[in-house]
Structures are given as structure tokens and as C-alpha cells.
Structure 1
Amino acid sequence: MSTSGELIAEVRAMTVDDIPAVMVVELAAYPFPWTAAIFRDCLKSAYHGYVWEIGGVLAAYAMTSVAVGEMHLLNLAVAPHRQSQGVGRRLLRHVMASSRELGADMMFLEVRPSNIHAIALYLSEGLGEIGQRRGYYPAAGGREDALVMARSL
């Protein structure tokens, strides 16, 4: 805690040691979560993972791939108790700025049409829908399409 009583928030690179805490959020945030092995493979593949900690506790994370001038946001989640507090927005902005520094000038992502809060965040940050991927996500009744969104960085 800071001397004013506020919790200190910081964003930093994700490491393999963060995966257990990331999985707690992943399992709470998604009905069809990634596995710990997927996160490990992303880090081994030199993807860019970020964690946002508040008071030393993981509040959100993101995983991106940056190549050939493009950033693909692969996963972004906020712990349920930290949602609607601006954490996701701040992390998204950090990820976009970091990706620009890595040479990306375009950003792409997929999002479930049922994830109205994420869509609202992405639209408010300048992303627009550019297409759909049929049957992209697993869903309780089979498969769910994905909206493909993009923006210039």
C-alpha cells in the first residue's frame, strides 16, 4: 500500500511463475478457459503476456502476438471482483502502446458476440467489426461464432 492508503497498481510482463494466478482468473472469467499449458506455450513461443497487479494481487492479464506489423490480442481477462473498475481498459491501452513500440501498426482480435461488455470496451477504444468467424468458440450448445475486430495503432 502507498502512504495515502491507495493500493499500488502495476503492469508487467507475464512469466511462467504467474500462470497459477492467471489460471484462477481464467477459470473464473471464462466458461471454456485456456489451459495452463496454452499459457506456457504462448510464453515459450515469445508471445507477449502482461499481468496487471493491484496491491500485489493479479487483477487482469493479456496475451498478444506481434508479427509483421500486426498485433493479435489472443486473450484478455479481468478478475470478476475487478470488473467495471477500468482495469481492463487500462490494460488494453497498455497492450496497444506496447505493441506499437514493438512495431505493430494494426490490431486484431476475436470476441464472442455474447460478450457484450468486452465488445462495448473494444468499440469505445476504437475497434470496429471487420468480419466473423463461424463456429470459432466452443459453447454449451455446440459452437459460437466470433466477431473479428480491428483498429489502427
Structure 2
Amino acid sequence: MSTRPREALPKLRPLEVLDLDALMDIERRAYSHPWTEAIFRDCLRAGYTCWALDQRQLLIGYSVTSLAVGEYHILNLTVRPESQGRGHGRFLLRSLLNWAKTHGAENAFLEVRPSNRTALNLYLSEGFNEVGLRKAYYPSHRGREDALVMARAL
């Protein structure tokens, strides 16, 4: 019998302005070219659907999404680097897709760097398919990197 304590289940809740300090710490550590705090503030102000993923009152992940005319767009989905590899990204993605479906979305879309194999494998394993390519979409250390456009029916 194992005496190892169970890991607390993560909880999804709406993202708040008060989360931005913790969010920006994660964003800067997770990406070579992070979004700015101003971008996140604009998303909150504009009414994008923004989610926080908490575990033991610690922000471990977040997302920024948009729902319009039956289309759900995942604009940012991030898990803090030290919490990756534990299923939190999959939990967050599935939660987002379930929420979108219950709110009338028929299809979900996202962009991902081809070099981000971990994220790409997650999306493929959750039923997303490549439907397009955005040339030179992302900034990179060598200039620009393409984005794979992925979609799945809900």
C-alpha cells in the first residue's frame, strides 16, 4: 500500500486581473516570445473567455479563448513548466472543449508551432487535424516560424 499523498485535483475558474502577476511569471518561463501583460489585459477587457487552472490555490495553467458564430478559437493554452507532463494540459483542453460545446460551438480551432512537439502531440491525440498553415506567424530566434492551423469538430 502506498503512503504517497494524492495530488489535489485542479480546478477551473474564470481568470481575473488579480491573476496577472502569477500568469506573467508562467508566460515568461513557458515561452521564448511571451505575450505581454497588455495583451492579457486587453483580452480580459474585450470579453474573451479566459480561464485559470488552480491546484492548491496555485495558478498552474490558463487559457484565452474566443467563441463566435459556432467557432471556438483557443488563442493561448499554457501550463506552468514545472507542472507539465502531469495531464494538466489535457485536462484544461478537454474542459475548454466541453465548455465550448455546451455554449453552441460546432468546431474548435487553434494554431501551434510545428516545433512544439509536445503541444502538437496533445492536440493530435485529442482529435485535432491540420487544416492549414500560416506562414511566418510566430516570432522566433531565427526570424519567424510558421503556425499549423488545427481544427476539430465538437
**Per the shorter chain, which TM-score range?**
over 0.9
Give, as a single letter, the amino acid of the residue that structure 1 aligns with 2:55.
I
- Secondary structure in 1 aligned to 2:119? helix
Q: CA deviation at 1:5?
A: 5.7
5+ residue gaps, structure 1, are: none
Structure 2 unpaired stretches of 5+:
none
Greater CA deviation, 5-14 or 132-141? 5-14
RMSD: 1.1
- SS of aligned partner of 2:61: strand
Runs of 4+ aligned residues of structure 1 deviating over 4 Å after TM superposition are none
Separation (CA, whole Å) in 2 of partners of 1:87 and 1:134: 30
- CA distance in 1 between partners of 2:6 and 2:91 (Å): 21
Distance apart, 1:7 and its partner CA: 2.6
Match of 1:22 in 2: 23
2-side partners of 1:124 and 1:6: how far apart? 24
- 1:95 matched residue in structure 2: 96
The TM-score, its normalising length taken from structure 2, stands at 0.94
What amino acid is aligned across from residue 108 of structure 1 in structure 2? F
Aligned residues: 150
* 1:32 equivalent in alignment to 2:58: no
- 1-structure distance, mates of 2:67, 2:30: 24
Aligned equivalent of 2:71: 70
Report % sequence identity.
Answer: 50
Cα distance in 2 between the residues matched to 1:74 and 1:8: 24
